[in-house]
Structure 1
Amino acid sequence: MTPVQTHLYDKVCHHLNVIYDQVDTAQPLTEVAQTLLSKMGLDQDDVTLPAPHQNHWTEQDVVLITYGDSIVTADEAPLATLHQFLKQHVNNTINSVHILPFFPYSSDDGFSIMDYSTVNEGLGTWHDITAIASDFRLMSDLVINHCSSRSAWFNNFTKSEGVGSDFFFTVDPSFDTSQVIRPRTSELIRATETAQGEQHVWCTFSHDQVDFDFRNSKVLESFISIIRQYLDNGVRLFRLDAIAFLWKQSGTSCINLEQTHEVVRLLRTLIECAQPDAIIITETNIPNRENLTYFGNANEAHAIYNFSLPPLLVNTLITGDCEYLKNWQMRMPPAQNGTTYFNFIASHDGIGLRPAEGLLDERELNTLLNTMQSFGGLVSWRSTPDKKQKPYEVNITLFDALQGTVKGPDKWGIERFMCAHEIMLAMEGIPGIYIHSLLATSNDYEKVKNTSQNRSINRHRWDHLKLTEQLSDKRSQHSRVLTKLNAILAIRIKQKAFHPNATQFTLQLGSGIFGFWRQSIDRKQSIFCISNVADIEQQIYLSDINLISTHDWWDLLSQEPINMDQPYLTLTPYQSVWISNLN
């Protein structure tokens, strides 16, 4: 081995020793380390260890989140239709795309994978995936906690033979599950007949989604092969789905265990050595303080989902009071170089409520729930360790969630919706925009009826021809929102002060005005991002934001200069300004 290889090998061995410290592995960990390096293609002489604290992102990075078949055309692969849509409508404003699981699956709209190595033939082929990856930075899910009960691996488990026969987590009556935390109300354990008799399989999410047993190093080796294949097909961002539940231990909550964190560290080591510009994003829909731990010491996730932002921002805009959002933002630590936040306010799931725990009090949560239900939203539930049921998430499209306030629907829906994005797009971190926000899609009740799944409300499938007709009608909500968002994005991606790691400082402008200051890393640009979050006109005094009077200032959003001779700015309901010293 060369010195670099030796150092990498030792580092991988260290990760494995932490993960398997209390496990009797079938083969020596030194052999496991060699296997992992070989499967990742890191057993060559030209391996380079990346320098720490490198940022593989800029202010130009914006991610579109979509299913492979969110837009469909007759007689065309949905992935080809998606590629066409991306090139036609967002080619100059969005440079990355997260295609939600595009593999063969049996349930949960893709998150119950039957085969990790092939593309769902109903979507297209690997050729379609690589074509998109050639034009956009591609993000893919690594559904690492569980797979489908109809997979070949689980079939081999039931037959007790072949690859997969020992891949799944089973328990006996002595395993203490009393403290387990999970986001579902279904039974945790599934009784399964196998060639060796009845076994009790762990199912965090549903009985069709059976959890892997990472105590078996062969499971880890299989996922390293999967990662290598994804890299070879153009994937550069890995979303580690449900990663918090990976490791199970009797008598614990079976969430966020140290072995899980070490697996993330191992994956980062291998991925960034194999592809230095690739990044890991952890999907951990959990309370904010726990979520932050997935940064590690800039040695775990490159980015973490900012799960607390959606409920706090929606709460702000329906109440007209930003105090909870402001207090949260003030307490959020700046991300170290080599890490950043992944900001979003809508996704294929719903508005998660666990990330609001400790941030919104029960009265505010109830107000949020009641308001969302009055706007047609649905509620999904989870079981607590003491068998009680608590709301887990609100299922609603963001466009419908922001159609009004706690007082009811009003005329400010689009303004409120745009205000939400103007806040999110200016915040520290990489922004992600869900396709149904980009297109201002409303609640799909017909799909909920057909699937009996609450989350389907925000998973509409657009016919490309009908969508084109709507986008051609300049009066439609879909055309208006897409045009406005593209205009804002075109401004956003040119601002050095919006680099994901640029300085952010929260402003104190009262409960009805939310504001923060961004400064570019080279300190040449300042942007004061200020939004009226209420349904009334409000004024802000320029003295309150300390604009240097010897400088010229512009509102980037309106492209108008700031008149320093006037003592204040007047903001209409839900109006935002991005006040910059550089135009």
Structure 2
Amino acid sequence: MNNTTLKAPACLLDKVRTHLEIIYPGQDTDKLTQKAISLFEPIHESLDDSCASATHLWSEKDIALLTYGNSLVEEENRPLRTLDRFLKKFTNNRFSIVHILPFFPYSSDDGFAVMDYYTVNPSLGDWEDIRKISERCRLMSDLVVNHTSSRSWWFENFKKGVHPGKDYYVTVDPQSDLSQVIRPRTTPLLREVATPDGPRHVWCTFGHDQVDLNFKNPDVLMEFLSIIRHYLDNGVQIFRLDAVAFLWKEVCTTCLHLGQTHKIIKLMRILIQAHNPRAIIITETNVPARENLSYFGIGDEAQVIYNFPLPPFLLNTMVTGNSKGITDWLKTMPDTMENTTCLNFIASHDGIGLRPVEDYFSRQEKTQLIDLMKAFGGKISTRALNDHKDNPYEINISLWDAMKGTVHCRENHYQIERFICAHTIMLGLKGIPAIYIHSLLGTENDYERRENLQSNRAVNRHIWNYPDLCAKLVNPDDHHHQVFFALCALVDKRKQQPAFHPDAGQITFNINRKIVAFQRRAAEAGKTQGLFCIHNITDQAVTIPRKDLPEQWQRAGVDLISEKTVQLDTGLSLAPYQSMWITVT
């Protein structure tokens, strides 16, 4: 291989070549290495021969906002510009990370059936609008890597038998043994398509408008490396790899978490960080917890993974008033490796997944939660298993309505307190917190949108008229105002505490089943801060005797939330759904 044409450290060349040799045995990996690295030139000047990963990728000041490009709309303005106005006027740079969900031309699935990866959907704005938002924050973008729209020009070329696209998609003999394939949908896996070579059966993990790409063809990988570079050039710093667990296909396997998938993610990380050492990969893998953790690799894969068990655990905790499940789970969470962490969230554009807690929830617990969410207007999405039954996969509901009541009292007047308590727990946990825009705004279920789109997920994808929203946010009597400013106040306080650094230590305490309690502790630059985070998850006042508090938290402290002194030496009393972040004086 002629290395003189590439201005890259030898160790970078070796790492890229090694991964490509494993992914594509028998291919000209020297040529592939040359092409891959050339896409990311110039290589960052700080990348020396040690090829060390970047450090200090996040801090306690990092909090993400998750939103669609058109969650807020107004007449005579592009939605992306309206979003930028909202970020400037209302959030005032509180959110250091903004995830704009797929902002490309699409045919279905609210953006996740991408027709053109290189273009911003003109109904939202253009790349200039994207770059402007990226100047305000670290911009997260989806890399919809598993599939494209059936209306993409690549798939049109596939159907015509021309390049590029002719061999970009997974095709399979319908008589093949596909019984082990795991997928989150009930639609048929294969779709028959007419081509110049006769009928072909393409693979569709998520539905017939979303056709799976064939990464066994190295041209597909190179195409996506080019897309990644395009995003980097337009201000993207964080790449959310959507549905990446399904990437590589092998007949007679589950086609989930295969080794080549992990190698491709590692390769992407190496190349992205070679160009921008502060860029980050986040994997979106809504699977059981142990499988999800595998995407850290050995510290050489995704820097961040979605903490998918947290939403169902936290929701169930708040509506049952019982902390045993979440406390036991938090105690089992392994320490993260250097330069890795979790993205903590309670709600997102998708539903509250049930797969991540398959190993934790009993059938009775799951049924009780599902029935309650149905009573609060939620919908249940299902997936097909080998038992040929539709099995619950996720709960589709706005988080505001999900917190309407409890299993003991279907509706009560503690909805705001319960909602804020859940977020206070999430904001205190180890990792980077992320708040969905409709949680930030206290948005209700959107039944009309759900019916119009015939999609369960649409119930939690409301589109706000921006002037109407502004009127609600300035009205102190409106619950949208109350939720928004309560969450903003918590965000402001959190960002000032070194103990909430994503890498800071965490110890979970088992005090009683009405309480969620944990300690966060950070030591930096000779300064140590410890915080005792304690939350009453019931609608009854709770008093904790001094003897039941952790020994190190049995003397007077200051609650950073209320800014009041707390006499821990005499025990601790908490009002319904009250939270405290206590630092000992």
Quickly name the TM-score band, shorter chain normalised: over 0.9
Corresponding position of 2:580: 577
State the one-letter code of the partner of 2:407: V
Tell me what 2:95 maps to.
94
The residue aligned with 1:452 is 454
- 2:135 is paired with a residue whose SS is helix
Deviation string 1:411-435 (CA, Å, 9 cap, x unpaired) is 1100000000000000000001000
Cα distance, 1:53 vs structure 2: 7.1
Aligned to 1:70: 71
Q: How far did residue 92 of structure 1 move?
A: 4.0
5 Å-filtered alignment, 1:363-378, equals: 363-378=364-379
Structure 1 residue identity aligned to 2:296 = F
The equivalences for 1:381-460 within 5 A come to 381-407=382-408, 408-460=410-462
Shift of residue 334 of structure 1?
1.4
Identical amino acids, percent of aligned pairs: 49
Q: CA deviation at 1:536?
A: 0.9
Query: 1: CA distance between counterparts of 2:388 and 2:550?
Result: 53
* CA distance in 2 between partners of 1:437 and 1:45 (Å): 41
Give me the whole-angstrom Cα distance separating, in 2, the residues matched to 1:492 and 1:282: 25
What residue in structure 2 maps to residue 465 of structure 1? 467
Partners of 2:283 and 2:304 within 8 A in 1: yes
Partners of 1:549 and 1:492 in 2: how far apart? Answer: 20
Distance in 2 of aligned mates of 1:46 and 1:559: 43
| Secondary structure of residue in 2 paired with 1:525 | strand
CA distance in structure 1 between the partners assigned to 2:582 and 2:46 by the alignment? 47
**In 1, Cα distance between equivalents of 2:164 and 2:355:** 37
Using structure 1 for the length normalisation, give the TM-score.
0.96
Q: CA deviation at 1:162?
A: 2.0
What does residue 500 of structure 2 align with? 498
Query: Superposed, which structure 2 residues align to 1:3-402 within 5 Å?
Result: 5-21=9-25, 25=27, 28-42=28-42, 47-48=47-48, 50-52=51-53, 54-173=55-174, 175-402=176-403
| Cα deviation 1:192-225 (Å, max 9, x = unaligned) | 0112110000000010000000000000000000
Cα shift readout 1:84-104 (whole Å, capped 9, x = no counterpart):
001111124211100000000
3-state SS of 1:135 partner: coil
Q: Alpha-carbon deviation of 1:165?
A: 1.3
Cα distance in 2, alignment partners of residues 289 and 406 from structure 1: 29
Q: Distance in 2 between matches of 1:50 and 1:554?
A: 44
Corresponding position: 1:530 with 2:573: no
Sort the Cα spacing of 1:559 and 1:33 in 2 relative to 1 into closer, same or farther, 3 A. Answer: same
CA distance in 1, matches of 2:404, 2:244: 34
CA contact (8 A) 1:50 1:276 kept: no
* Cα distance in 2 for residues equivalent to 1:213 and 1:414: 47
Give me the whole-angstrom Cα distance separating, in 1, the residues matched to 2:554 and 2:365: 43
Q: Is the 8 A contact 1:145 1:212 kept in 2?
A: yes
SS class of match (2:523) = coil
From the superposition, tell whether residues 175 and 82 of structure 1 become closer, same or farther in structure 2 (CA, over 3 Å). Answer: same
Change beyond 3 A, Cα 1:174–1:44: farther
Q: Which amino acid aligns with 2:31?
A: E
Q: Residue by residue, what CA displacement relative to the aligned partner does 1:329-364 show, whole Å, maximum 9, x if unpaired?
A: 111111112100000000001100001110111110
CA distance in 2 between counterparts of 1:409 and 1:400 reads 10
**SS state at 1:254 partner:** coil
CA distance in 1, matches of 2:555, 2:270: 46
In 1, Cα distance between equivalents of 2:19 and 2:433: 31
CA distance in 2, matches of 1:50, 1:351: 39
Show CA shifts across 1:64-89 (max 9, x none). Answer: 00000000010100000000001111
Contact 2:87 2:93 in 1 (8 A): no
Judge conservation of contact 1:180–1:385 (CA < 8 Å) in 2. no
Cα deviation, 1:174-194, whole Å, max 9, x if unaligned, reads: 532110000000000000011
SS in 2 for 1:577: strand
Unmatched tracts of structure 1, length 5 or more:
none
Deviation at 1:541, TM superposition (A): 2.8
Q: TM-score, normalised to structure 2's length?
A: 0.96
Alpha-carbon offset, residue 545 of structure 1: 3.1
> Alpha carbons of 1:55 and 1:336: their partners in 2 closer, same or farther (altered >3 Å)?
farther
State the Cα deviation string for residues 262-310 of structure 1 (Å, max 9, x = none). Answer: 1111111111111100000000000011001001111011000000000
CA deviation vs aligned residue, 1:459-517 (integer Å, no higher than 9, x gap): 00000010011111111110000010010000000100000010000011111111000
RMSD after superposition? 1.6
Task: Tell me how far apart the structure 1 counterparts of residues 51 and 476 of structure 2 sit (CA, whole Å).
Answer: 49
C-alpha contact 1:538 1:573 (8 A) present in aligned 2: yes
**Cα gap change, 1:316/1:243 in structure 2, threshold over 3 Å: closer, same or farther?**
same
Secondary structure of the structure 2 residue equivalent to 1:475: coil
Contact 1:62 1:94 in 2 (8 A): yes
2 CA distance for matches of 1:45 and 1:418? 45
Inter-partner Cα distance in structure 1 for 2:546 and 2:127: 54
Matches of 1:513 and 1:72, distance apart in 2: 40
Residue 4 (structure 1) shift:
5.5
Output one character per residue of 1:5-50: Cα deviation in whole Å (capped at 9) or x when no partner.
22111100111122224xx54xx11111110001122579875465
> Which aligned segments of 4 or more residues in structure 1 are displaced greater than 6 angstroms?
43-46
Gaps of 5+ in 2: none
